[in-house]
Chains A and B, each alone.
Chain A
Amino acid sequence: MTTGLEHYLVLAAVLFSIGLYGALAKRNAVVVMMCIEIMLNAVNIALVGFSRFVTPTMLTGQIFAIFIMVVAAAEAAVGLAIIITIYRNRESVETTDINLMKE
């Protein structure tokens, strides 16, 4: 059986679900960021799969994937800067400890 669009879409869904579970269930903020990167990559796989199998000559899906990469890089830089700042002020990157707005 040759690999078709459904194979790539199901793979993207599996990777997205793994990242979703990690982003919701993990306590370490850096690990949450890593899981968000997995989710963004899963979406990129789905977009490139659509671009390959539905519109193989226009490549619009790959353009969207490039923009997602731009946003992901900016998000990683700003997010990790925020995590480092929080660690400096509160000596912790556990998401359960960051409850300043709740106290």
Chain B
Amino acid sequence: MGVDIAFWILAIVGVAAALTVVLLRNVFHAALALILCLVTVAGLYITLSADFLAGVQILVYVGGVSILLILAIMLTREVQHGSLSNKFRVPAFLVAAIFLGVMIYSMVATPWQISTASPAAPTTAVLASNLLGEGGFILAVEVAAALLLAAILGAIVLVREK
């Protein structure tokens, strides 16, 4: 019961924050609304009993990506120009609305195989054995590490003064 109430509150606040990101003219206020949306997504992970992912969401998105975004807004001085729409506003709205309708129809019409087993808690041990254990995703973890290193080096090379 408590989880249901939490889901509805988080869903309404999250969708409202996402709409604010899209509709606000002020870029800095849009970034603050995006941070609120990311926090509500972390709350949704908790209602899905994904405790480790909720922590990672707060650390990576709320702590890292949002700071990068605000830094980019400050460096590019776009606050006074504002976030305007381009000439594709109506076609983009139509595409998004049609996509939403098709997705909701297919999701509601599909008979999902719901499992009644209780979820693993805490999830860290299962996640660790899946990521690092035998028969897990260890190759993907190594590739992700190489990708992050390449991304850091690429970002440094791009923004370095000539």
Pairs across A and B, CB under 8 Å, 21 listed: A3-B8, A15-B37, A21-B92, A25-B86, A25-B89, A25-B92, A27-B83, A28-B83, A33-B69, A37-B69, A52-B119, A53-B115, A57-B117, A59-B127, A62-B123, A63-B127, A70-B147, A78-B151, A78-B155, A83-B72, A87-B75
A90–B97 Cα gap in the complex (Å)?
34
Residues of A within 8 A of B64 (CB): 73
Q: Report the separation of the CA atoms of residues A56 and B57 in the bound assembly, to the nearest whole angstrom.
A: 20
**Which residue numbers of B lie inside 8 Å of A, CB to CB?**
3-4, 7-8, 11, 14-15, 18-19, 21-22, 27, 30-31, 34, 37-38, 41, 44-45, 47-50, 52-53, 56-57, 60-61, 64-65, 68-69, 71-73, 75-76, 78, 81-86, 88-89, 91-93, 95-97, 99-100, 103-104, 107-108, 112-115, 117-120, 123, 126-127, 130-131, 137, 140, 144, 147-148, 150-152, 154-156, 158-159
Q: Which of chain B's residues have a CB closer than 8 A to the CB of A80? A: 68-69, 71-72, 155
- How many residue pairs between the two chains, A and B, have CB atoms under 8 Å in the bound complex? 243
In the complex where A27-B84, A27-B86 touch, is A48 in contact with B48 (Cβ < 8 A)? yes
